[in-house]
Amino acid sequence: MTHRKITSEDLYKIKTPADPRISPDGSRTVFTVSSIIEKTHSYQSHLHVINRHSQAEEQWTFGENKNHSPRWSPGGKLVFVSDRSGVSQLYLMKASGGEGRQLTFSSHGASNPLWIDDEQLLFLTYFQEDDSYEHPKRKAEQPAPLEVTQIRYKSDRDGFIRDRKSRLYHLNVKTGETREWVSCEGDAESPSVSDDQLAYIHTPPEIPGKGLVSDVHIKNVKTGTDKNITAGRGIFSKPQFSPDGRCLAFFGHEKGYKSATLQKLWLYDTENEMLQCLTGEWDMYAGDAAVSDSLYGAVSPAIQWTADSKGFYMVVTDRGSTGVYYGSIEGLMYPVRMETEHVNGFVMHPSEHWGVLSISTPISPSELFEADFQTGEMVQLTRLNKPWLEGASISAPQPLETEAEDGWSIHGWLMKPAVMEEGKKYPMILQIHGGPHMMYANTYFHEFQVLASQGYAILYVNPRGSHGYGQDFVNLNRGDYGGSDYKDLMSAVDAALEDFSFIDRERLGVTGGSYGGFMTNWIVGHTNRFKAAVTQRSISNWLSFYGVSDIGTFFTEWEVGGTMPEDAMKLWDHSPLKYADEIDTPLLILHSEKDYRCPIEQAEQLYIVLERKGKNVKFIRFPDQNHELSRSGHPLLRVERLNAITAWFNEHV
C-alpha cells in the first residue's frame, strides 16, 4: 500500500482548535480555529461553536482575518477580538450568533477582554508616553531617532518598544465610555476582577542587576488603594480570583534558581492578607512547558476555579507530557488526567467537573475533547485534521531512556522513518530543543514528521536543564553550558545506536534552535561524529549576546554565570565561536533578521569566521521574521525553512 509523505507544505493543512470557553448555561462551547490561507499565505482565526447535546458544530465568523479571544458574559453575550478593521478591536455578538458590533475604536488596538458583568468590560490596549486612548500621538511623517534610557528598550515580540506600555481600560458596553483603570510605570495586564477588587500583573522597567520582575497587584477600584502582594521578589502571571473573592491564585516563582526555577502555584488570602506557595513542596512544573511547532493560536490557560471556591483545575508538566490536576485550597493535588499526550488548553465547567480539552499527540495535531473527570469518559469533539492525515505516513515515536555519565536518567524518544524496508539502514537526526528550560513532549511536531517521511530516524530527548523532571534536574546545566548537557546528548545518541540496529551510525545529523542552536554549534566544535548540522536562531558568542539580546544581561548572568566585562574569559570559554577552528562538519546557518532574542549578528559572526577559514558553511537569512519563525512566522518562510533543512541533510548525510 502506498502512503503519502508528510511534506513541508502540509503546514498549510494544519488546523488548530484553541481557547475553548463554555457558555454560562453549559450548553455550548465556543473556540477558535486557526489555519493558513493558501492563496494569500496568511493566518486566519475564526470562532466556532459546538452544541454539547447534539455535538453539532457551527462556524460563527468568516473572512480572511483573525477572530479570537471569545469570552461569554454572565448573561450569555459573546465578546471577541477581530482585526477586520485593520486594527484589533473588541466586537460584541448576540448569544445566537450573527454579525459582531464593534465596541472599541482605539488606534492602538484592543485585546484580552474580561467581563465584569453584562454591561462592563476590561480590555488591554497599548500607549506611548504622554499618549491616551482618546488622543493618540500623531505618527511622525519623517523618521525619528530612538532615545534609549533603560536596559529593556526592545523585545523579540514587539521590536523597539519606544515607551510602549500596556494599559488596562474599562468599557461601558451601553454607552461606549472608556476610562483607564490602572496608571503605573511599566506595563499592566492580565486582569481578574471580584466585586471592587482588581488583580493585575505589573511589570516595571528592568532594574540593572536584578533582571525581570513581574508583580501581582490588587487594587480597590472604589478607594484607589493599590497593594503589591509579591513585593518585587519574582516573576508571576495569570492571577484568578475565586468565585467568592476570598482567594487569588496565580503562577510564578521567586527566582530561587533564577530562570531555571520551577513555576509554582501561589494562593493569596484576601481577607487575612496572607500569601503562600501552594505547591512549594511539589517537585513539578505548574503549567505547560512543552515545545511544539504546530500550535499557532493556542492559549496557555490560567487555573480554573470550581464554583464552590474550594478547589481548582490546572495544567501540569511531567516527564514529557502535560495533563490536568485538581487542587484544593488546603494544598491537596492529584491528577485527573495524565496520559502520554500534550494538553495545551482547557476550560472547566465550574460546578459539574467536566471540561473541554485541547489535546495533541505525536501523531496528531490538536483536537478538542470533552472530558468527564468523575467518570473518566472522553468524547472527541473535533476532527479538523483527519482529512489530511488519512493516508499519510505518520511515524509514532518510541520512548527512550538512558543513564548520563553521572547517573542522571535522560528521557526522550526515537521516531523511526515513516516507511521502512526490512534490513535497510537509515540515517538519524538529533533534535535539540530551545530554552533550555522547556521540554520536548508527547505532542505533534511537524518538522519531525517531515524528516521522518524523508527516511530519517529522529532522536529527541530532554537533557539536563529541561523542565518536567524536577527542580534539581532543570537547574543542572546553569553555569555548565556545553558541559554535562553536551554529554547527556551524546549518551542519548549512543543509546539510540545501541537499541536500534537499523540506524546507520555513519550517517548522523544534528539540529536545534535557540539554546538548541547554541548546542548544535557547540557539538560540531567538539566532535566530528555528525555528517551535517543545521543551526537555527543560535548563540555563538556570549560576549556580544550580553549586549545585543533583549534578555542578554540577566540571561547571560543567570545561565552562563558571567557578566561583562568582569567575566569575559568565562563567557568566551563557553562560546562556540571560540572553537570554530575545530568545526569540520558541513553547517547550515538559519537565522531571522528581526530576531531580538538571539540577534542575527550571532549567525553573522559564525558564518564569516567559518567562511574565512574555508569551512563548508551556508547562511540563509529570513527577512522580517523574529525568534518565532518556526512557530508563527510567515507561512512561506516557514516552508522554506523546512525545505532548507531537508535539502541540507539530504545532500550531506
Whole-number pLDDT of residue 108 = 87
Whole-number pLDDT of residue 142 = 79
Whole-number pLDDT of residue 153 = 87
Write out pLDDT tens, residues 430-441.
Answer: 999 999 999 999
Is 60 exceeded by the pLDDT of residue 1? no
Mean pLDDT of 611-636: 98
Pairing relationship of beta strands 409-415 and 398-403 according to DSSP bridges: antiparallel
> Residues, the chain, total?
653
Percent of the chain scored above 90 by pLDDT? 89
Whole-number pLDDT of residue 131 = 60
Distance from C-alpha of 573 to C-alpha of 579, rounded to nearest angstrom: 9
Is 60 exceeded by the pLDDT of residue 122? yes
Rg, C-alpha atoms of the chain = 25
CA nearest neighbour of 521 among 509, 537, 507, 538: 538
Mean pLDDT of 446-465: 98
Whole-number pLDDT of residue 177 = 95
Class in CATH terms, 398-652? alpha beta
The percent helix, strand, coil of the chain (3-state, each to 5) is 20, 40, 45
Cβ-based burial of 367 (10 A; exposed 0-12, middle 13-18, buried ≥19): buried
Contacts with 139 (C-beta within 8 Å, 6 or more apart), sequence order: none
Q: Mean pLDDT across the chain, nearest whole number?
A: 95
Residue 555 pairs with which residues in a beta bridge? none
Q: State the pLDDT confidence band at 308, using cuts at 50, 70 and 90.
A: very high
- By the 8 A CB rule, do 192 and 133 touch? no
Whole-number pLDDT of residue 98 = 81
Q: State the pLDDT confidence band at 286, using cuts at 50, 70 and 90.
A: very high
Whole-number pLDDT of residue 133 = 61
Q: Cell for 545?
A: 549576546
**Domain extents for the chain?**
398-652
Is 70 exceeded by the pLDDT of residue 138? no
- By the 8 A CB rule, do 169 and 125 touch? yes
Write out pLDDT tens, residues 393-417.
Answer: 999 999 999 999 999 999 999 999 9
User: Phi and psi at residue 268, in whole multiples of 5°?
Assistant: -115, 125
Calculate the alpha carbon distances from 397 to 13, 366, 458, 522, 554 in Å. Answer: 22, 17, 9, 27, 37
DSSP characters over 112-171: EEEEEETTEEEEEEEE-TT--SSSPPPPPSS--PPPP-SS--EETTTEE-TT-EEEEEEE
In what order do the strands lie in the sheet containing 532-536? 398-403, 409-415, 457-462, 426-432, 503-513, 532-536, 587-592, 617-622
Q: Cell for 157?
A: 515580540
CA nearest neighbour of 440 among 537, 530, 317, 538: 317
- By the 8 A CB rule, do 604 and 611 touch? no
Catalytic residue numbers? Answer: 514, 627
- By the 8 A CB rule, do 114 and 71 touch? yes
- By the 8 A CB rule, do 34 and 18 touch? yes
| H or E stretch covering 632 | helix 629-632
Whole-number pLDDT of residue 141 = 65
- By the 8 A CB rule, do 233 and 207 touch? no
Write out pLDDT tens, residues 154-210.
Answer: 999 888 887 678 899 999 999 999 999 988 888 999 999 999 999 999 998 877 777
Q: Cell for 561?
A: 554565570
DSSP characters over 465-489: T-SSS-HHHHHTTTT-TTTHHHHHH
- By the 8 A CB rule, do 455 and 417 touch? yes
Is 60 exceeded by the pLDDT of residue 137? no
